[in-house]
Amino acid sequence: MVGLAGGGGHLYPSPPMQPNPPEMRELPVINSAAPTSADACLSIVHSLMCHRQGGETESFSKRAIESLVKKLKEKRDELDSLITAITTNGSHPSKCVTIQRTLDGRLQVAGRKGFPHVIYARIWRWPDLHKNELKHIKYCQFAFDLKCDSVCVNPYHYERVVSPGIDLSGLTLQSGVSVLPGGRLVKDEYSVGGGGVSTSGVTVGGGMDVDGEMNQTIQHHPLPQSSSQSSNSQQSFVSVLPVTATAAGGSQGSPVSPVHLHHQNNGYNVGTATNPYNTGAPQWTGANTLTYTQSMQPPDHRHLQRGNHSDVTGNMSGGLLSTQPAPEYWCSVAYFELDTQVGETFKVSSSCPTVTVDGYVDPSGGNRFCLGALSNVHRTDQSERARLHIGKGVVLDLRGEGDVWLRCLSEHSVFVQSYYLDREAGRAPGDAVHKIYPAAYIKVFDLRQCHKQMRGQAATAQAAAAAQAAAVAGHLTPGAPITKNLSAAAGIGVDDLRRLCILRLSFVKGWGPDYPRTSIKDTPCWIEVHLHRALQLLDEVLHTMPIDGPRD
């Protein structure tokens, strides 16, 4: 992701543009095959159709382009600007391309109405664009937001951002969390280079439309670095998700203090916390979408010290969770395209606490998984295109006994399924997709929390199974019927607990209600990460509390 200037972050990098001089001179089009404004409308439309991105149907795109070309036929300089911009993918500066603004600001094409600048941006640049995600570049003189009589529809006069300014006058700020009138909570944004929290540009999720449609994608932006921070972005503390927040009809969460990390001289770094407050996670109620910023910094090993250990996410005793030696491999990474695994599973040795998963083809060691080298005879065009944008990919860092941090090095966001982030957001496990922006570095797995969850679920499942068995045998205490929740708990199996030990991550493309893909298995390229220390602990739990019969 590019910068977050103005309270929003770019989802896709825009082509380099130069400031517009007082009188902008049009550069000649390099592509000799491109038409000019003197050509027939049919030829121009055919050429421009070749550059559409698939965001709209072919018939709709053709109608929209035909309509635009006909309107511009009497303004040949603007038509040439449009042809130049589209056929060169914005690599040449171009003038505004304008049409008359309608009374309601919308353009009707083929029986559908929409904002004109959004329609053409979807056709030629961002097929999954939402209408609140565009921000005009500074030298666009007729941008939609400027409310001029004419509207610029040049797609390269706009940048895609994560929701520009929302009026905060009606919001209540509590410890960095804003409450929208509908009960929805919005976490304040950080602006790159701004050195602080921006309350003038709270970012609303890309899936929140002007008409209030919500998504379930939680967004995570990078935290700006101050000049006093070291170049490796390390800090001696971790900022845990906030926070005191009250939503309409909801309960109030408790503030969480900074979590300090200490060192134990046994090969693992174990986290500790000093927290005078109740650390119960805030309960997010109201709408299904939770959009906020969660930015963390990794622990600085120069400041690690010995000390008494306590649980980062609770009050469990500190120290190692298991006396077993660390597994030979701390994680294994499987790569998928749609619902098919491609290539062999990549195992990462415990001697390499950092692993890079990128889109390149030349691995340089045992801690780099290059997806670009993997072939697939059944690869779809969708996967082929997405793979081109993986780039530097992501880095996974093993910290302490089994915590995992993720850094997004790609120029595009990655989408993560993380039970740890679900819990920090007060969501049910698997209930949300977390959007991690480029340059963000964030904790995605907490071993101690996972261990606590698996023990709790195993104990609940064991008790529920015992209650059901007693009911079948006629030994159930009168007046104590088996509740629906107890019956559901009895259905918890080993596979359910194994999911607690797995991370899933999709490159470039998201999934969920605000995307055309309903599950991660519908995304073009994604990885599944099995965390072996967590699986090791799960095996111990199942030996002490078997939930599917005795284990040997």
Q: What is the pLDDT of residue 318?
A: 61
pLDDT of residue 356: 95
Confidence (pLDDT) at 366? 74
Question: Mean pLDDT in each 10-residue stretch from start to end of the chain (552 residues)?
Answer: 39 45 41 73 87 80 90 89 87 86 84 87 85 83 87 89 45 36 32 32 33 51 48 33 32 34 38 34 33 44 35 49 89 95 94 93 81 91 93 94 93 92 83 88 92 85 72 60 54 80 94 86 96 91 69 44
CATH number listed for the domain at residues 41-160: 3.90.520.10
Task: Give the per-residue pLDDT at 8.
Answer: 40
Q: Which two three-digit tokens encode residue 441?
A: 């570095």
Q: Return the pLDDT at 319.
A: 81
Tokens of 332: 């294994």
CB count within 10 Å of CB 282 equals 25
Position 444 scores a pLDDT of 94
CA-to-CA separations, 66 to 82, 148, 446, in angstroms, rounded: 13, 23, 54
Q: How would DSSP label each residue in 381-424? A: HHHHHHHTTTTT-EEEEEETTTEEEEEE-SSS-EEEE-HHHHHH
> What's the rounded Cα separation, in Å, for the pair 236 and 392?
27
Record the pTM: 0.49
Q: Is 521 exposed, middle or buried (0-12, 13-18, 19+ CB in 10 A)?
A: middle
d(CA 544, CA 59): 62
pLDDT of residue 481: 54
Q: Quick one: pLDDT at residue 221? A: 64
Res 475: pLDDT: 61
pLDDT of residue 173: 36
Tell me which long-range contacts 30-36 makes (C-beta under 8 A, separation of at least 24).
Answer: 30/88, 30/92, 31/87, 31/88, 34/83, 34/84, 34/87, 35/83, 36/80, 36/83
End-to-end alpha carbon distance in the chain: 50
Single-letter code of the amino acid located at 200: S
Q: pLDDT value at position 24?
A: 43
Domain boundaries, the chain: 41-160, 329-472+484-544
Residue 107: which of 72, 81, 141, 68 has the closest Cα? 68
CATH 2.60.200.10 fits 329-472+484-544, yes or no: yes
- Write down the pLDDT at residue 522: 94
Tally of residues, the chain: 552
